[in-house]
Structure formats: C-alpha cells, structure tokens
C-alpha cells in the first residue's frame, strides 16, 4: 500500500503519482484517469469502464449483424 499526500495546486488540490505507479498504469502527464464509486470506496482506472463496456457490446453486435452492417455500408 502506498500513501499519497494531497497537495494544494492553486485553487485546487492534487496528488503526484510515483513513477512506478504511472508505469504500471501505462500513464503519462496529460492522460486521463477515471474514478468509479463502488460500495467499498472508489475504483481508479486508466480507462473509461463505460466506454469499454460499450465497445464490448459493439463487438458482439458487429459479429451478430455482420451481413446487415455490410449491406448498410454500401
């Protein structure tokens, strides 16, 4: 477990992530992280879970309706 200190940044507050954490999350300065509230607290991820779920649904639909989508594309 790592402890991060919240620092004052102008009128806001922020946290500096250690280099090792950024590398494990495959993040760099300027990237976005996403917070999802759960019953046990917050889940932090380097990708948008809603977008990932939507893309998974699209992949399933794309396979099921491949012929129809091909016809619509013409």
Cβ-Cβ contacts under 8 Å for 7 (sequence gap 6 or more): 13, 14, 15, 16
Is residue 48 over pLDDT 80? no
Q: What is the mean pLDDT of residues 34-47?
A: 84
Domain range 6-73, CATH architecture = Ribbon (2.10)
Closest CA to 25 of 2, 8, 58: 2
pTM for the full model?
A: 0.51
Is residue 56 over pLDDT 90? no
Domain ranges of the chain: 6-73
């Amino acid at each position: 477990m790592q402890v991060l200190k919240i620092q004052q940044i102008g009128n806001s507050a922020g946290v500096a992530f250690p280099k090792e954490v950024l590398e494990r999350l495959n993040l760099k300065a300027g990237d976005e992280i996403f917070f999802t509230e759960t019953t046990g607290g917050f889940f932090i991820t380097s990708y948008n879970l809603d977008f990932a779920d939507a893309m998974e649904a699209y992949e399933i639909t794309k396979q099921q309706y491949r012929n129809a989508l091909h016809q619509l594309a013409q």
